[in-house]
C-alpha cells in the first residue's frame, strides 16, 4: 500500500536549486504542549492524531497537548508521541508542497522517515512504534541501565575507554564529532564516564532515560520485534533514505525491514549520516518534528549548511514559504 504522505520529488520537471534532507528526531525530543498548536491550526494534523489515538488505543492527542514532562517521559509514551507529532508536521509540510529530496531519522525518527520515503504506511509505522516502545520499556524494567552523554572527546578515544571497562558499556550515539552517548549497565557506564573525564572530556551528563538503549542489552527484543514486522508491507523507497545504523542509503524494502530489527541495539551513527548527506549534495537540513536537537547537531558537524526546524508555528510557516 502506498503511503498517503509520500512526497512528490519534482515539480513540472524542474531541477531543484536546493537539495533538502528531511531529518526526523528521536526519543528525547518530546516536550509539554508540543502538538497543541498543530492540532489547533491544521486539520490534517488533527486527523492524523485521531488516527494514532485509534491505532494505538492511546490518548496521544491529549498527551501531546496537555501532558507534563513527567507524563511524556516513559519510553512507551515518548516514542509514539514523538513519532506522531513528526508525522503530523510532515503531513502539513507535504500539503503545503514542501518536497524533501532525501530523508533520515535519528533512531525512533527512522519510522516517520520510512513513511516519508514511501516504505511504510502511516498506520503500520505507528503500530510498529507502539511495539518498539513497549519492548524497549520492558528491557529497561528488567535490566536497569544508564546513558551518559560525553562531550569533548573523539569517538575512537571513547571506544578505547569502553573496551577497558568491566561490564557492558558501549557507544550508543555518535551525535557530533566530539559528542557521543554511552549506554549499558549502570556501573559500567559510570566507570566509563569517570575515565572519560580523566581523559579530558569537557562534560558528562546522565540522560533521563534509565534504560540501556542502543547497546547489546537490547538484542533480546530483536526476535519479538521482527515478528511484529512479519506481516507488514515494506515497499522500496521512492527517494533516498539514509539509515542511522549504517549511514548508507537503504537498498530496498526488505533491507529496511532488516535494519529495523537490529536498530534498538545498534549505534546511531548520526555524524556519519550527516557526512553521507553532505556527500550527496545536500544543502538544506530540515528538522521535521518537535524540538531542535538535530538542527544543533548539524550546525556543529556540517559547514556552510542551511538549517531549519519546524517545532512551532512561526518556524513551520517560514519553512513553507522558503520551499514552496
Determine which one of 86, 107, 244, 295 is catalytic.
107
Cα(110)–Cα(246) distance, rounded to whole angstroms? 12
**Long-range CB contacts (within 8 A, 24+) of 245-250:** 245/269, 247/272, 247/273, 247/275, 247/276, 248/276, 249/276, 250/117, 250/119
Asked if 187 contacts 283 with a C-beta cutoff of 8 angstroms, the reply is no
Question: What does the longest C-alpha to C-alpha distance in the chain come to?
Answer: 60
203, β-bridge pairs? 151
Cα(114)–Cα(103) distance, rounded to whole angstroms? 8
* 214 flagged as catalytic: yes
CA quadruple 17, 251, 308, 123: dihedral sign: positive
Determine which one of 214, 243, 244, 295 is catalytic.
214
255: cell is 533491507
Cα(284)–Cα(288) distance, rounded to whole angstroms? 12
Q: Which residues have CB under 8 Å from 176's CB, separation 6+?
A: 270, 271, 297, 300, 301
* 86 flagged as catalytic: no
Which residues are marked as active site?
107, 214
Amino acid at each position: 500500500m502506498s503511503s498517503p504522505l509520500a512526497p512528490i520529488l519534482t515539480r513540472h520537471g524542474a531541477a531543484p536549486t536546493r537539495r533538502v534532507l528531511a531529518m526526523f528526531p528521536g526519543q528525547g525530543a518530546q516536550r509539554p504542549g508540543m502538538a497543541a498548536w498543530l492540532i489547533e491550526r491544521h486539520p490534517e494534523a488533527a486527523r492524523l492524531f485521531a488516527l494514532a489515538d485509534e491505532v494505538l488505543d492511546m490518548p496521544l492527542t491529549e498527551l501531546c497537548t496537555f501532558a507534563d514532562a513527567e507524563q511524556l517521559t516513559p519510553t512507551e509514551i515518548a516514542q509514539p508521541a514523538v513519532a506522531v507529532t513528526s508525522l503530523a508536521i510532515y503531513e502539513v509540510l507535504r500539503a503545503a508542497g514542501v518536497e524533501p529530496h532525501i530523508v533520515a531519522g535519528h533512531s525512533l525518527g527512522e519510522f516517520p522517515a520510512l513513511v516519508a520515503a514511501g516504505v511504510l504506511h502511516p498506520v503500520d509505522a505507528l503500530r510498529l512504534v507502539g511495539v518498539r516502545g513497549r519492548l524497549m520499556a520492558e528491557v529497561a524494567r528488567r535490566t536497569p541501565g544508564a546513558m551518559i552523554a560525553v562531550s569533548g572527546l573523539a569517538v575512537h578515544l571513547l571506544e578505547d575507554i569502553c573496551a577497558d571497562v568491566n561490564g557492558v558499556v558501549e557507544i550508543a550515539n555518535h551525535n557530533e564529532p566530539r559528542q557521543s552517548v554511552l549506554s549499558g549497565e549502570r556501573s559500567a557506564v559510570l566507570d566509563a564516564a569517570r575515565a572519560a573525564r580523566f581523559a579530558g572530556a569537557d562534560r558528562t551528563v546522565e540522560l533521563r532515560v534509565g534504560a540501556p538503549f542502543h547497546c547489546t542489552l537490547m538484542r533480546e527484543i530483536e526476535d519479538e520485534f521482527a515478528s511484529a514486522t512479519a506481516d507488514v508491507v515494506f515497499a522500496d523507497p521512492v527517494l533516498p533514505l539514509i539509515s542511522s545504523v549504517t549511514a548508507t542509503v537503504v537498498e530496498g524494502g526488505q533491507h529496511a525491514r532488516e535494519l529495523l530489527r537490529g536498530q534498538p541495539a545498534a549505534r546511531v551513527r548520526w555524524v556519519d549520516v550527516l557526512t553521507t548527506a553532505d556527500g550527496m549534495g545536500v544543502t538544506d537540513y530540515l528538522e521535521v518534528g518537535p524540538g531542535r536537537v538535530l538542527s544543533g547537531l548539524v550546525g556543529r558537524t556540517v559547514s556552510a549548511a542551511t538549517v531549519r526546524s519546524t517545532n512551532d508555528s512561526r518556524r513551520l510557516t517560514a519553512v513553507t514559504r522558503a520551499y514552496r
